[in-house]
Chain A
Amino acid sequence: MKDTGQYLEGIRTELGHAQAAERRNGGPPGATPRPLIELQHVYLAFDQPVLVDLSMAVYEGETLLVLGESGQGKSTILKLILRLLAPDAGTVSIFGHEITHLSFEEVLEFRRKIGMVFQNAALFDSLTVFDNVAYPLRENTDLSEREIARVVREKLEFVDLDPERDMAKLPAELSGGMRKRVGVARAIATDPEVILYDEPTAGLDPLAVQTITDLIKKLQREKGVTSVLVTHDLRAGFRVASRVNLLREGHIVFRGTPEEMVASNDPYVRAFLNAS
């Protein structure tokens, strides 16, 4: 375990980032009470119960950080929001529409406004970088190939990739950090209002972590997107989060700002912070 003083200093540095992020986001969620995404009393079990009476909401313009140890169901929450999974009980709503009892196809219309950055980028490994980013445009828009090429270039430049150099590469030829950035470019290809990130910094070297967190902040700042970040990497999370939910044993055990989390006396919160 780390020396407490040293650890607190680290957290404070991250908090500086978090406060700045919050100011950019236009204040705490109280100012904009409309939840874009809402899960209410959700239960979901695979072989074992994973989510147990989970309720959470994501508000317009915020960057919600969902923290939790591995295997606690963070990815599962994102899959519920995308309607890749359906809850056993409880409701999931996106953009004011309850999607719990809709089929995957019926949800598509609302879902188009949500972009997802998968844990290991989940790039289509048989397609080039260009075709990966173009994929959602070809599937979901009527853009001509010329317009698609323009959008793909723009998105690749946004994530600091050089279209000329990287466009024709296959995912296998890219580093982990580059793959993740292509994943972001693909997720934002259709200009979603909400972006979900699954462990965006896992497995990356410190420099690449910096690049990705900068990118998440740039998306908040320049595109005003609402973001949900699920991760066990508290440090990277605090750099961008305006609000934190801590997931444990299937439901949220702490809700608050990063500052409130650091100030909390809850034993599990303290243990989680100390272990990070």
Chain B
Amino acid sequence: MADGIVARVDERMREAALGVYEYFALAWRALRFSFSRPFYWRDLLVQMDRLGAGSIPIVLITGVFSGAVLALQSSIELSAYGATSFLGSLVGDSMVQEIGPVLTGLGIAGRAGSGIAAEIGSMRITEQIDALQTFGTDPIRKLVTPRLLACLIMVPAATIIMDVIGIVGGLMIATSSGMPADQFLRSMWSTFAYGGFLFGYFPKDFVPGIVKPIAFGGVIAITGSYYGLAAAGGAESVGAATTRTVVVASVLIFALDYFLAQLLMVLFGPQAAM
């Protein structure tokens, strides 16, 4: 009895370890294929187009509301200390370093990550992936690499849009409560400037805002592809793959967010990773 449980736990652990190994092996191969021929350019462009078009509405709506609520909550807190003049700096830094990357990552994980799992999963169970292989096409090269690169490019791009929209949302709240727009923007810019610059003109505060979404993009593409490729059996296995992708990608995004913040703080000083 006890022996059975131990054996079963053991088995679980081995499977989990194997799963993690396969996850990284998939990521490594997909990345390596971006630098060798044949490269499926058309697939990359199609994926970028889809990812962009699919994510813009989510990014716009989430961005404006989260910027607005951030400004609303912070202005109450700040006014208690007579520090409302820091509103712009607070909204700007939080948006660029934290909220923009995480919310964009989560939104795209839900929208595009699940889509990647569904698409690859249904190709798997309808033997389209076997068919690709019989024609000599490596499915990782053809399916995973373009999705990975598309996410590595488009998630940061969407994050920048989210940042701008969020700051605009915050600015709207600020001006509607009587703060002049230029005071808000000046406060924001002074924080960025205070953080220092890389290469003379790139604010260090923007580093996590770019590094994080690149990492999140990788997580979304690889998680979706991993569960899609692992689908086996009927249509319900595709459904399970999409759900798992959203859950696992979201958890990984939160975890990575923390660890990257730590890492960047060590590399660039506390200013760069509030």
Contact = CB atoms under 8 A, between A and B. Distances in A.
Interface string A97-121: 0000000100010011010101110
B11 interface: no
Contacts of B130: 79, 82, 84, 118, 122
B177 interface: no
Contact of B126 (A112, A114, A120, A140): A120
B131 A116 contact: yes
A126 to B, nearest CB: 8
Contacts of B133: 82, 84, 104
Contacts of B131: 116, 118, 122-124
B176 to A, nearest CB: 47
A139 B135 CA distance: 7
B127 A108 contact: no
Interface string B110-147: 00000000000011001110111111110000000000
Contacts of A79: 130
B135 A140 contact: yes
Interface in A126-149: 135-136, 139-140
A146 to B, nearest CB: 19
A125 interface: yes
User: Interface on chain B toward A: helix, strand, loop, or mixed SS?
Assistant: helix
Contacts of A108: 136
A190 to B, nearest CB: 9
Given A119-B127, A122-B127, A122-B128, A82 B134 contact: yes
Contacts of A116: 131, 134
A124 B127 CA distance: 9
Nearest to B137: A139
Interface in B241-262: none
Nearest to B38: A139
Interface residues of A, number: 20
Q: Pick from B122, B135, B137 the residue with the most CB of A within 10 Å.
A: B135
Nearest to A127: B128
A122 B128 CA distance: 5
Contacts of A104: 133
Contacts of A120: 126-127
Contact of B136 (A84, A119, A123, A140): A140
Contacts of B126: 120, 122, 125
Contacts of A125: 122-123, 126, 128
Contacts of A82: 130, 133-134
Nearest to A186: B131
Nearest to A107: B136
Nearest to A79: B130
A79 B127 CA distance: 11
A124 B40 CA distance: 15
Contacts of B132: 124
A111 B134 contact: yes
B136 A118 contact: no
A84 B135 contact: no
Contacts of A124: 123, 128, 131-132
Contacts of B122: 125
A114 B131 CA distance: 12
A136 B135 CA distance: 6
A119 B123 CA distance: 13
B135 A135 contact: yes
A135 B136 CA distance: 11
A111 B123 CA distance: 22
Nearest to B129: A122
Contacts of B128: 122-125
Interface of B: 122-123, 126-128, 130-137
The 7 closest A-B pairs by CB, nearest first: A122-B127, A122-B131, A136-B135, A118-B127, A108-B136, A139-B135, A122-B128
5 contacts: A104-B133, A122-B126, A122-B131, A123-B131, A124-B123
Interface of A: 79, 82, 84, 104, 108, 111-112, 114, 116, 118-120, 122-125, 135-136, 139-140
Given A122-B126, A122-B130, A125-B122, 14 more contacts: A82-B130, A84-B134, A111-B136, A116-B131, A116-B134, A118-B130, A122-B128, A122-B131, A123-B128, A124-B128, A124-B131, A124-B132, A125-B126, A139-B136
